[in-house]
Structure 1
Amino acid sequence: MRPKILLTNDDGVNSGGLWAAYEAMSAFAEVTVVAPAVQQSAVGRSISIFEPLRMNEMMINGRHAYSVEGRPTDALLLGLYGLDLKPDLVVSGINLGENISYESITTSGTVGAAMEAANQGVPSIAFSLQMSDQGNKFTDPRCHQTDFSQAKEVVGKIVQMFLSTGLPAGSHLINVNIPSCAIEGYEVTTLGTRLFDTYVEKRIDPRGKPYYWINGDVVYMPEPHSDVTALRNNRVSITPLTLDNTAFSACGELREMLLGQNF
């Protein structure tokens, strides 16, 4: 029996990264594509609970897929429960653009779908590919050419490893980031502290009304063993993640603070 994989993303069902992952895994697994109909980057783990969702069967270049008019997490849930898929693994990606540091994993729709899979009890892996041209992150994924050959090799190796071994104890999902340049190795990493120096730019439209762009300059903090540093050194970053956001190291101090109050 070939293992069953549910494949989703946040760049949309037509993304070259999604189909590169499909090609990498279909050689050894039964892969079902359930992905958003259009670009859904930076929506995190949001779920559509106030509106109905539509899912359409379609063929893309002779390959079967399900297109969901919703977010990545919506697509994941419709795959699990609307289609009653029972995957051995959920794979999200290959995302066009890296998802590294505290900042990215909490906003990424790619990682968000993998997190929801883990929340539903299904092991999951998120894959993202660094973009040498930052503008490609924000371009229609059908309109630019990206070489996925190196990324496909990474996806195939890592997915087969985790299908064989399972995820490491204590982790709920794995976040993988692939460099755009020639790979110089693989590294188990931690999340970097930050990636952007965020700012808001105010502009005036032709009618004299203000509008705003949220933007940020990339910053580099040289933290040993972080995903940011690994990718900067052209190494594949493999970060085990957990859904538990508890700051355990702060619990003791917080207890002391409470003892000092008349609560």
Structure 2
Amino acid sequence: MSGIFYVYIKYARETDTKRADWGRHLLTFESRWAADELFRGLQTLKNAAGANRYSKLQRVNPQLWYYDTIDGDPWWTIIYVQRENALPEFNYKLMSVILGDADSGRNWPVFSNPTIGPDWISSKNFYIRNRRQPDLYWYRDSGRIVVSTTRRTKFRIKDVDYDKERVLIRNDKVTIEPVDGLGDTAGYYVAKGAEGQKLSVGLVKETWRFSELFDGIGVTWSTEEGFVTGTQFATNAPDAGDEWELC
């Protein structure tokens, strides 16, 4: 999921009329991964007294965020975060520009090709499809994950270290559950197994790194008992995977 990624962020305190004129920024990231990681990082920032620096940080979608803060001059907070080097790991992943406001003649930049798709929230359900060939979907067929143009299965992706909903980032540990098995007491999970193995569905809870979903799975044309000849099976291919997306 590399490539330049944009986010609009806006100051939005309901009791402050200046929210309508000031505090609008365009953030440019080296990837969508970096944008979501910054969102999680901003949630952790605290002031000297230990209070959350962002008293509100709300995502309308992956590219439109709203905030309030305990900082003075709240319309500048994202600038202060960068000046103070409060999150040094973003020095080479982020830059920002102040958007036009009531006191300036700054132009309003409009970006093309916005990212389309759902927010990556833990415990939500998603289809998984190929980015280059978007008619190819993951489908649970008995104990295998096959790649199909005619059938598709939704999967629940859940953060194993955090019970509540939150934005998923690349290094989060997750489980993948076919939603057609969620009602079963035993529980069914997608397992990738060793490199080169076909993905399977069973009772063993296997943990994935979230980013493995996007570029660590390939497709193998194979023959297997119970399947028609030439079925496409999803396969663990960490070094030669296809590109997938959640939808």
Sort the TM-score into its range (normalised by shorter chain): under 0.3
Higher strand share: 2
Q: TM-score, normalised by structure 2?
A: 0.24
